[in-house]
């Protein structure tokens, strides 16, 4: 399983190389070097989408580039128009509906920012890559094993086309984290033997159901509280911290066993809290804890202890004195720096590709959720490799295409019951 950290191809090497070279030649002029203009489209105009567009524009300013917002799309046209108006877009470039992503992609945008609910991202990502767009894809990138594997496969297609793909894991672009990662790799804290990653906070928001509202509309507006759309908060939010653990250790966990429950959540079908033991092999365990309950202790971060010292995420590190290369960033804001790194990689003809990385981190978060929901020990290979596993083909419903086709039936707003035999239902 650890070898999955090394990127591998689903297609013959010769085909990839040939296609990649051809695509690189075609994409060499993606950013107009005379006008220094970049054309961007946004899919998903909620808070994170608006933030991502602002981050992208800030990144272009750092790089001395002009930005043209070509189109925006959202399930709700009024929301798209509100965002589009703020960027000088005509109404006919502000698309609404669950097929709005197709209309954004059909324009001449060169970069697409994807900030729709996580369940939509595998479908939207595949469409963007098929259309030859460079992508910023917000984390997480799926809510089930099928979606995670889809993103990995699409990422390989993007690589063959020479497309840039960067995920919204901003910690990987922050100076403090980058420096501590370099020090750990140099041996500053010795071999990591264990640690704790946590995101303990409150429910970010709730969207009450409106009178006469359809299941599709209610779920889309209240997506943060439905596992089928968000993946639950261990996936949607806590994936940041799990990704740091994977990054710092340099390998994926083998399995997860966890528990959780619901006591105070007012809507949706998710848990309030999770506690998961991730087994990284070689007697290394990372304790994952996340909670969304008001009035409780809040803490977000990562800590690791090694044979020679300890490290707190991107902060304090105590261990052997080591010298590493100076870490230089263009922005102290990791959410801006990730866009700088994406755009610069395309400009230099060396496009980044985070697809496998973020898909695997997403799968690790899904593994923890599925363990807590079922009460079972879940192995990562059963989500990513073992086609005979009962979990391999699990897919949440309703899925993205159900919304597009208008065939959405909302699940009951009740949580899963651990220990419910071998039954695997819509919530994992």
State the CATH number of the domain containing residue 387.
Answer: 3.30.360.10
Please give the model's pTM, rounded to 2 decimal places: 0.91
Same domain, yes or no, for 205 and 321?
yes
Q: Does residue 428 fall inside a structural domain?
A: no
Instruction: Indicate whether 87 and 116 sit together in one domain.
Output: yes
The whole-number pLDDT of residue 34 equals 63
Q: What is the pLDDT of residue 31?
A: 66
In a domain, 115, yes or no: yes
* The predicted structure's pLDDT at residue 51: 97
Q: Is residue 261 part of a domain?
A: yes
The answer to whether residues 268 and 343 belong to one domain is no
Residue 420 lies in a domain: no
Total domains in the chain come to 2
User: Is there a domain that residue 424 lies in?
Assistant: no
Same domain, 96 and 196: no
SS3 sequence of the chain: CHHHHCCCCCCCHHHHHHHHHHHHHHHCCCCECCCCEEEEEEECCCHHHHHHHHHHHHHHHHCCCEEEEEEEEECCHHHHHHHHHCCCCCHHHEEECCCHHHHHHCCCCCEEEECCCHHHHHHHHHHHHHCCCEEEECCCCCCCHHHHHHHHHHHHHHHHHCCCEEECCHHHHCHHHHHHHHHHHCCCCCCEEEEEEEEEECCCCCCCCCCCCCHHHHHHHCHHHCHHHHCCHHHHCCHHHHHHHHHHHCCCCCEEEEEEECCCCCCCCCCCEEEEEEECCCCCEEEEEEEECCCCCCEEEEEEEECCCEEECCCCEECCCCCCCCCCCCCCCHHHHHHHHHHHHHHCCCCCECHHHHHHHHHHHHHHHHHHHHCCCEEHHHHHCCCCCCCCCCCCCCCHHHHHHCCCCCCCCCCCCCCCCCCCCCCC
Q: Residue 36 has what pLDDT?
A: 86
Q: What is the pLDDT of residue 10?
A: 28
pLDDT averaged over 10-residue windows placed end to end, the chain, 428 residues: 32 33 39 78 97 98 97 98 96 97 98 98 98 98 98 98 98 98 98 98 95 97 97 98 98 98 94 98 98 96 98 97 95 98 97 98 98 96 97 96 96 87 45
Query: What local confidence, expressed as pLDDT, does residue 18 receive?
Result: 35
Please indicate, yes or no, if residue 320 is contained in any of the structural domains.
yes
In a domain, 251, yes or no: yes
Tell me, what's the pLDDT at 420?
64
Residue 213 lies in a domain: yes
| Residues 99 and 64 occupy one common structural domain | yes
Residues 255 and 368 in one domain: yes
The range of the structural domain enclosing residue 231 comes to 173-326+362-405
Give me the pLDDT at residue 315, please: 97
Considering the domain architecture, whether residues 279 and 393 belong to the same structural domain is answered as: yes
Residues 14 and 59 occupy one common structural domain: yes
184 plus 209 within the same structural domain: yes
């Amino acid at each position: 399983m650890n070898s999955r950290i090394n990127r591998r191809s689903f297609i013959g090497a010769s085909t990839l190389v040939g296609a990649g070279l051809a695509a690189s030649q075609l994409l060499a002029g993606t950013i107009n070097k005379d006008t220094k203009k970049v054309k961007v489209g946004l899919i998903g105009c909620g808070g994170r989408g608006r933030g991502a567009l602002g981050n992208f524009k800030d990144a272009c300013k750092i790089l001395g580039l002009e930005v043209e917002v070509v189109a925006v799309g959202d399930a709700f046209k009024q929301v798209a128009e509100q965002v589009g108006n703020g960027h000088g877009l005509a109404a006919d470039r502000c698309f609404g509906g669950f097929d709005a992503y197709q209309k954004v992609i059909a324009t001449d945008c060169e970069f697409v920012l994807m900030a729709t609910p996580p369940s939509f991202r595998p479908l939207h990502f595949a469409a963007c890559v098929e259309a030859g767009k460079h992508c910023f894809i917000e984390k997480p990138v799926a809510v089930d094993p099928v979606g995670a594997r889809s993103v990995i496969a699409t990422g390989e297609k993007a690589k063959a086309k020479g497309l840039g793909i960067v995920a919204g894991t901003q910690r990987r672009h922050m100076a403090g984290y980058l420096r501590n990662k370099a020090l750990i790799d140099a041996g500053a804290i010795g071999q990591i033997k264990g640690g704790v990653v946590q995101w303990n906070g409150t429910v970010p928001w709730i969207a009450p159901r409106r009178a006469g509202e359809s299941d599709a509309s209610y779920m889309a507006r209240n997506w943060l509280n439905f596992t089928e759309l968000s993946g639950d908060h261990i996936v949607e939010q806590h994936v940041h911290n799990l990704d740091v653990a994977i990054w710092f250790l340099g390998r994926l966990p083998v399995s997860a066993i966890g528990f959780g429950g619901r006591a105070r959540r007012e809507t949706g079908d998710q848990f309030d809290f999770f506690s998961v033991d991730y087994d990284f092999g070689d007697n290394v365990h990372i304790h994952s804890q996340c909670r969304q309950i008001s009035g409780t202790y809040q803490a977000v971060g990562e800590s690791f202890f090694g044979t020679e010292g300890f490290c707190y995420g991107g902060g304090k590190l105590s261990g052997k004195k080591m010298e590493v290369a100076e870490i230089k960033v263009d922005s102290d804001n990791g959410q801006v720096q990730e866009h700088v790194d994406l755009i610069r990689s395309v400009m230099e003809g060396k496009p980044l590709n985070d697809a496998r990385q973020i898909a695997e981190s997403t799968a690790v978060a899904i593994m923890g959720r599925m363990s807590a929901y079922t009460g079972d020990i879940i192995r990562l290979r059963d989500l990513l490799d073992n086609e005979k596993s009962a979990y391999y083909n699990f897919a949440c419903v309703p899925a993205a295409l159900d919304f597009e086709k208008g065939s959405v039936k909302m699940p009951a707003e009740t949580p899963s019951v651990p220990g419910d035999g071998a039954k695997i239902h819509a919530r994992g």
